[in-house]
Amino acid sequence: MIPEIGRAASLVALVLALGGAVAATAGGRTGRSALVEAAQRAGVGVFVLISFCFALLTYAFLTFDFSVRYVASNTNLGTPFYYRITGVWGALEGSIILWAWMLALYTLIIVLRHRETTREFYPWVLAVMLSVLAFFLLVMTVAASPFERLAPVPADGRGLNPLLEDTGMITHPVALYLGFTGLTVPFAFAIAALVTGRVGDAWITMTRRWTIIAWYFLSLGLLIGGWWSYHVLGWGGYWAWDPVENAAFMPWLAATAFLHSVMIQERRRMLKLWNISLIILSFTLTLFGTFLTRSGIIASVHAFTQGAIGILFLSFLALVVLVALGLVALRWDALRAQGELDSVVSRESAFLLNNVLLIAATFTVFFGTVFPLLSEAVRGVKVSVGAPFFNQVNIPLFLSLIFLMGVGPLIAWRRASTDNLRRNFLWPVALGFLAALVAFGAGVRPTLAVLTFATTVFVSATIALDFGRATRARRRTGERLLPAMGGLLLRHNRRYGGFLVHFGVLVIAVGVTGSHAWSVQTETTLKRGEHAELAGYRVRFDGLSASEESNHAKVTGAFTVSNGRVLDVLRPAKKFYPQQQSPIAAVDYRLGLTEDIYLVLGDFARDGTEATIKLQVNRLVSWIWIGGVVITLGALLAILPEARRPA
């Protein structure tokens, strides 16, 4: 029953989306509002249908309906309740329906909120949104249907991939997809601007908040992915430059560039061509990302599957790229307005430099990711391009970008006078140098760590300086300190939200530097009662215990950690799932502000007398997650509705 209903619903949704896209396009060309309204209703209808499909699928999961192949592949009678819900998006088919649902949700929001405010753009925005929706619905009905029937109906399912039995599963795909699909909206507006020829600022102003929100969710998704990798995958790291991680990172880089350069267009009305190109790049990179994870052309930890679906995605990617860039070529003249600048030393230049670095990083990551393919095509030799390469080439770029974070917000628009430069940068630069000396003197050795530390101090100083000066100015009018600060934050929420986000990035940068420079690890085999030592910690092996969980068998080790006094007992485990080939390592860790103790259980003797462990002491990793919280606060501040301003 469920398979048939679900398939029917998705088919109807597909037809509606296609029809709506056509109607919207026709409505845009002819100006007939009846067509546009029909498209609008189609959009609402698609949302209702996809929500229905989603609910139906979840219901199938919750009731163990193994007649649905997708349910049988991703759950079994032992799967706990909450993982039966999150398992809905645990594999390829579910991920497509999740993506489609979010697209439909965004389309609905546009229909409800932007009908009035977007005038000529509206039909074209609808057309683009519905076309993209139609594509994902096409994939859903033709290539990766979650509603395929399984006959004969098995007594039990295969179960969820054990690595997905984690809270990260609830949040990571959701956040990431909200970011990916969120970029569709500014893209749709950009296409609308190109088609209508209104390539000025209007489309940017309308999508400003969308951009920040999409960017934020992308950042959140990436950070949660890092957290998930850190505490589930058992290798003690949070980022491996895996192709799928890169696939999400590239749109983030391009979106960050876009986020910054639209500020120039808002202020100075320049860079129209550049901004449109950036959002096209960001959106196509999200499509490239989904293509990469689902086509199997590059080996990756995430790769869902191979086959026909890859061809579908590549075709759509090609279509989008060629149409979008074709429109750019068409409107070339209108886009190439001349810009004007008083001086090279100005905020515009800083922002443009920021863009150059971010886009260079984007292309570097892209080229590194596809290079194995290129090498094979040209030389016939397979090579690997992994973490050591990406870390090496990207670090100078990111360090420069962090430095620019300190320069950009404070340097004057158009032309920065020497006075302006001195006022804003003398102290921060001096403090930065001082910090470098202090760090070096204190024995901080990797030069990179010293540089990062100095740059971080520099940028923090610029933020503090700006905030402090502005607060002081407000206080001169008689305001007390806290209300002055609060009022400042609320009145100029975009600016200070941005500062807060920058500060969050600094915190993350410190965390990343610390974890790379000062983390240590060791691997050793211990007999019961023996201990290993690392970085002042002593880890004693106390024994093993076996247990039976609802859908797996577990062997847990008990390790007492002490550094003079007993701190904790860590229990890393190995989980044996019947359907998995090899056991899954469940790490245990003790998080701290400056240090994490991380323990992985390796081989062990059957009688529990011996165990091999990998012990890590990771430094400053928690700062990465704290930085994420700061970024969240900053983004929230930035998207607040603007305070009433004088006209």
Partner 1 sequence: MRRAWRWLIPLSAIPVLALLAYGFRTNPRDIASPLVGRPAPAFALTAFDGTAVSLEAHRGRVVVVNFWASWCYPACYEEAPVLERAWRTYRDRGLTLIGVDIQDKREAAEKFIRDFGLTFPNAQDLTGKVSVDFGVYGVPETFFLDRRGQIRAKHVGALTDEIFRANVERLLAEPEGKPGPA
Partner 2 sequence: MRTVRTRRLVVVLLLGATLCGTAAAQQPARSVTEETVHEVAAQLRCVVCQNLSVADSPSEMAQQMRAIVRERLAAGERPEQVVQYFVDRYGEWILLSPRPRGFNLLVWLFPAVAVAVGLVILTVVLRRWTRQHRASAATPSTLDAAMSERIRRELERER
Cα–Cα distance for residue pair 11/134, rounded to 1 Å: 10
Alpha-helix runs per DSSP H in 139-242: 168-182, 184-196, 202-232
When binding is defined by CB under 8 A, the residue of 155, 329, 344, 647 that contacts partner 1 is 329
# residues contacting partner 1 (CB under 8 A): 28
Element (H, E) at 455: helix 447-475
Site string for partner 2, 327-366 (x = CB under 8 A): -----------xxxxxxx----x--xx--xx-xxx-xx--
Cα–Cα distance for residue pair 596/622, rounded to 1 Å: 8
- If the CB atoms of residues 64 and 576 are measured against partner 1, the closer one turns out to be 576
When binding is defined by CB under 8 A, the residue of 276, 328, 461, 526 that contacts partner 1 is 328
- If the CB atoms of residues 233 and 633 are measured against partner 2, the closer one turns out to be 233
Q: Taking the complex as a whole, how short is the minimal distance between the CB of residue 514 and partner 2, in angstroms?
A: 15
Among the listed ranges 22-30, 118-126, 297-305, 488-496, the one in contact with partner 1 (CB under 8 A) is: 297-305
Element (H, E) at 537: strand 537-548
Q: Count CA within 13 A, CB hemisphere, residue 328.
A: 18
Amino acid at 7: R
Give residues 197-236 in contact with partner 2 (rule: CB under 8 A): 198, 200-202, 233-236
User: 603, exposed or middle or buried, with CB in 10 Å at 0-12, 13-18, 19+?
Assistant: exposed
When binding is defined by CB under 8 A, the residue of 8, 142, 393, 626 that contacts partner 2 is 393
Could you tell which of partner 1, partner 2, none binds residue 377, using a CB distance below 5 to 8 A set by kind? partner 1
When binding is defined by CB under 8 A, the residue of 600, 624, 631, 635 that contacts partner 2 is 600
- CA-wise closest residue to 289 among 343, 237, 338, 252: 252
493 near 643, Cβ under 8 Å?
yes
Give residues 73-132 in contact with partner 1 (rule: CB under 8 A): none
Site string for partner 1, 575-614 (x = CB under 8 A): ------xx--------------------------------
Element (H, E) at 539: strand 537-548
When binding is defined by CB under 8 A, the residue of 397, 439, 454, 555 that contacts partner 2 is 397
Could you tell which of partner 2, partner 1, none binds residue 184, using a CB distance below 5 to 8 A set by kind? none
310 binds partner 2 (CB under 8 A): no
Q: Count CA within 13 A, CB hemisphere, residue 196.
A: 25
The two tokens of residue 231 are 């505490």
Could you tell which of partner 1, partner 2, none binds residue 412, using a CB distance below 5 to 8 A set by kind? none
Rounded alpha-carbon distances, angstroms, from residue 14 to 10, 17, 33, 122, 183: 6, 5, 23, 21, 21
Please state the φ and ψ torsions of residue 178, each to the nearest 5 degrees: -60, -35
Could you tell which of partner 2, partner 1, none binds residue 329, using a CB distance below 5 to 8 A set by kind? partner 1
When binding is defined by CB under 8 A, the residue of 374, 437, 629, 643 that contacts partner 1 is 374
The site for partner 1 (CB under 8 A) is made up of: 291, 295-299, 310-311, 314, 317-318, 321-322, 325-326, 328-329, 332, 370, 372-374, 376-377, 381-382, 581-582
